[in-house]
Amino acid sequence: MAATIRRETIGTTAGHRGQKPTDVDAYTLDSGEGLAVVVWTYGAGLVEVLAPDREGRTGNVVVRLADLDAYQDRATNPYVGSTVGRYCRCVADGRFRLDGVEHRLDRNDGAHHIHGGSLGFDRYVWEAEAERSDGLLSLRLRLDSPDGDQGYPGALRAEVRYQVSPDGSLAFEYRATTTASTIVGLTNHAFWNLAGGGLIDGHLLAVNSSRAVVFDDHLIPVAGPPADLTGSRLDHRVSKPVGDRRLDNCFLLDDPAWAAELHDPASGRTMRVVTDQPAVGVYSADGFTGRRRSGLCLEAGPLPDAPNRDDYPPVRLDPGETYRHRTVHHFSAR
């Protein structure tokens, strides 16, 4: 089958905090070789990933909500499939300093800031442009975030490009530029379930990491080095079942060869993740109201609270520079 791109308007946003209602489009990028994805312009969100199992039967391997209204309802939507930013992790006390100036962010997680704030990138309709070249299907989405948005300095132009290739891979490519020094860290918040439904307890997970961030009770990193995972229950360098354990951790990657691999023995589907980012967040959706443990988040990106940690890889972006992030999900079945 030939590769195709389809577009349809699925509804109109209600508008948030003075935003005008805006049409939301759905784009289907179908490789014609078994892998197809559906992306909405609302939140630049990944809504479906259709991948074949070992028998060639196609199923959706990401959690999706019922309709656009559900995606706009924060009570029922914990960032499902969304592009999150400007900063996709927590910022302790909702503040950080650049060049001696303190910047105060929206505190949308108790006393802290997370995933870009109450009106983060997941709450906007992005501009979209699709293209096809030599079998590679691309959807480029852009968003302009004004200076002071959620407390962040600088006007930021953000871009995410979804790419579907005939070899069964889905790539996320992020770019951003700014008019003033700021912080940036973008990721996708899909909940993966390679079985196409049910709980993720039976999945096998491998993570290329021997160290993880140590959190306090509010999931803020504590002072000191990461924890050595050798021999612990979080040592996933060799694939093992997710089981019924609660996972809400940030793993520092040992090398760029690969980040994580998820496998569903029942369907045979396997997803291998490769990224240029320093860490991957793993979350087992235990707090997903009504859909507990329905998917596993594998969020490649920076370290939590990195704006306030000199011992973490920097997340600063200055004018004239370009923020870049590339993560690829390779799908197969065995």
pLDDT tens-place string over residues 147-194: 999 999 999 999 999 999 999 999 999 999 999 999 999 999 999 999
Kind plus residue range of the DSSP H or E element containing 174: strand 169-178
pTM, two decimals, is 0.97
Q: What's the CA gap between 284 and 232, in Å, rounded?
A: 18
Which pLDDT band, with edges at 50, 70 and 90, does 134 fall under? confident
pLDDT tens-place string over residues 312-334: 999 999 999 999 999 999 999 99
pLDDT tens-place string over residues 66-80: 999 999 998 889 999
Q: Which residues are catalytic?
A: 189, 299
Query: Taking Cα atoms as reference points, which of 180, 201, 200, 202 lies closest to residue 191?
Result: 200
Helices assigned H by DSSP within the chain: 68-72
Asked if 205 and 94 touch (Cβ cutoff 8 Å), the reply is no
Is residue 86 exposed (0-12), middle (13-18) or buried (19+ Cβ within 10 Å)? Answer: buried
123: three-class secondary structure by DSSP: helix
Q: What is the mean pLDDT of the chain?
A: 96
- pLDDT at position 14 is 80
Show Cβ contacts of residue 35 under 8 Å, excluding neighbours closer than 6 positions. 49, 50, 51, 52, 164, 168, 169, 170, 331
pLDDT tens-place string over residues 17-50: 667 899 999 999 999 999 999 999 999 999 999 9
Which pLDDT band, with edges at 50, 70 and 90, does 96 fall under? very high
Q: What's the CA gap between 150 and 146, in Å, rounded?
A: 9
pLDDT tens-place string over residues 236-264: 999 999 999 999 999 999 999 999 999 99
68: three-class secondary structure by DSSP: helix
Strand 211-212 and strand 127-133: the pairing is unpaired
Q: How far, CA to CA in Å, does 133 sit from each of 136, 163, 170, 328?
A: 5, 11, 15, 18
Which pLDDT band, with edges at 50, 70 and 90, does 2 fall under? confident
Which pLDDT band, with edges at 50, 70 and 90, does 16 fall under? low
Q: Which residues of 148-164 are buried (b: 16+ CB within 10 A; e: fewer)?
A: ebbbbbbbbebbbbbbb
Task: Give the residue-averaged pLDDT of 112-118.
Answer: 97
Q: Is the pLDDT of residue 15 over 90?
A: no
